[in-house]
Amino acid sequence: MNKVAFYTLGCKVNQYETEAMMEAFENAGYEIVEYDGYSDIYIINTCTVTNIGDRKSRQIIRRALDHNPEAFIAVVGCYSQIAPQEILEIPGVKLVVGTSERSRIVELVEEAHNMDKKVSVVGNIMEIEEFEDMAIRNYKSRSRAFIKIQEGCEQYCTYCIIPYARGRIRSRKPENIVNEVKILAENGYKEIVLTGIHVGSYGKDLGDVVLMDIINMVHEIDGIERLRMSSVDPMTFDDKFIANLPRLHKLCRHFHLSLQSGCDETLKRMNRKYTTQQYREVVSKLRNIYPDVGITTDIIVGFPGETDEEFKKTVEFVEEMSFSSMHVFKFSPRKGTPAAKFKGQVNPKVKDERSKIISEIAHKNHIKFMNNMIGKSFKVLYEEKIDDASNYYEGLTDNYIRVKAETAYDIKGEIINTRLVDIEGDIMIGYLEKI
């Protein structure tokens, strides 16, 4: 067995973990190949946020056998952690690994292959107390690198299975974070994205360090020009945290503040730990600090008990906040969560209607945000050439606007001053001011 293929479902944390596992196999002498083709080993990193995620994971597992009926299939991640026996019963699956032990993935695959029987190494995730380091030296992308700094969640939102799949809060040691970022900087990466399951809780298990300490440490590393945070709980932004922001010139003017609902009654049933007024105050403070700041969010429509009046409050709130971008989800009951048993489950047709309404507001506000940027100059980190047939490269501004610009030069991985001149769909057209 010398060829291995990967498929990743779900969040940025899963993507990070897949990258780390790929690097481990490469270091062991394996060849990484595309998933939709022949491979000796297929590794599926699963998501279990919704029942739909479980079903998609099963479909991807079965697809591997179409390419090689004799393949060794290993399934890892959140779905594995929640339902290991269910996965073991899927034809072709030889190894099941949960949300720990991924750092040993090469060893586990080789051991299971030699044993020639189905193997599960899924344990009780609630008993895990140490962060599992899975360091990465090189990403497939050569511009932005995600750094996992935290694992686990103890929020217990009533719709969410993740605390049961990821376990208790575990924070990565600061020196390990700094060492990985330094290596990535030496290898040419210019933007670092701090990610985790509940990033704002970083340090609660360590006692003497908090998220802002990590931001400060990474901010001072030579070679890193931009620093970004993935989804952050709005209550992370207390007065002490916000007071530090103006001096952090590398920190991107983009914050993904998960909202879920613009109605306080709904938020309470969700067990979210803030009110709309608290959320409003955080957004106001960020907009006072940063001109042209990008505020993005997530919204769930059709949560159990959401009346027309409650939904109207969400509509009014998201219109008031005027987010630069929103991810809109229809509530999907997740087996094993309290909300799946709540009374007042919303009719699917009503969910569809509400999703359409919020999505239209999201699109309107996104276009409005981009229109306000026309004529302004931004530093854009160009990530890739769009295709070989054109000379357009695509990248991101620090406030999270996707931009494409035409040039005869290879600008992949470069940060270049770009004047935004037009809108084309969900992307802006830029003019390079200096190369």
pLDDT tens string, the chain, 435 residues long: the values are: 899 999 999 999 999 999 999 999 999 999 999 999 999 999 999 999 888 888 898 999 899 999 999 999 999 999 999 999 999 999 999 999 999 999 999 999 999 999 978 999 999 999 999 999 997 887 776 688 999 999 999 999 999 999 999 999 999 999 999 999 999 999 999 999 999 999 999 999 998 999 999 999 999 999 999 999 999 999 999 999 999 999 999 999 999 999 999 999 999 999 999 999 999 999 999 999 999 999 999 999 999 999 999 999 999 999 999 999 999 999 999 999 999 999 999 999 999 999 999 999 999 999 999 999 999 999 999 999 998 888 999 999 999 999 999 999 999 999 999 999 999 999 999 999 976
DSSP annotation of 16 reads H
Burial of 212 (0-12, 13-18, 19+ CB in 10 A): middle
Alpha helical stretches, state H, 68-190: 78-82, 84-88, 105-115, 162-166, 174-186
- Rounded-to-integer distance, Cα 51 and Cα 7, Å: 18
- Cβ(228)–Cβ(192) below 8 Å: yes
155 contact partners, CB below 8 Å, separation of at least 6: 163, 198, 233, 271, 273
Domain residue ranges of the chain, discontinuous segments joined by +: 3-123, 144-373, 377-432
First to last CA, the chain: 46
CB atoms within 10 A of CB 421: 14
- Rounded-to-integer distance, Cα 92 and Cα 155, Å: 36
Burial of 402 (0-12, 13-18, 19+ CB in 10 A): middle
Which CATH architecture is the domain 144-373 placed in? Alpha-Beta Horseshoe (3.80)
pLDDT value of residue 135: 79
Chain centre to alpha carbon of residue 9: 11
- Cβ(32)–Cβ(22) below 8 Å: yes
pLDDT value of residue 388: 80
pLDDT value of residue 390: 86
Q: 377-432: what fold?
A: OB fold (Dihydrolipoamide Acetyltransferase, E2P) (2.40.50)
Chain centre to alpha carbon of residue 365: 22
Of 219, 237, 236, the residue nearest 228 (C-alpha): 219
The yes or no reply on domain 3-123 and CATH 3.40.50.620 is no
- Taking the model in full, what pTM does it have? 0.93
Question: Which H or E run includes 413?
Answer: none
Using DSSP's 3-state secondary structure scheme, residue 209 falls into: coil
DSSP annotation of 160 reads -
Of 180, 165, 186, the residue nearest 133 (C-alpha): 180
Angle at 151 between CA 175 and CA 338, to 5 degrees: 165
- Rounded-to-integer distance, Cα 40 and Cα 30, Å: 10
pLDDT value of residue 52: 83
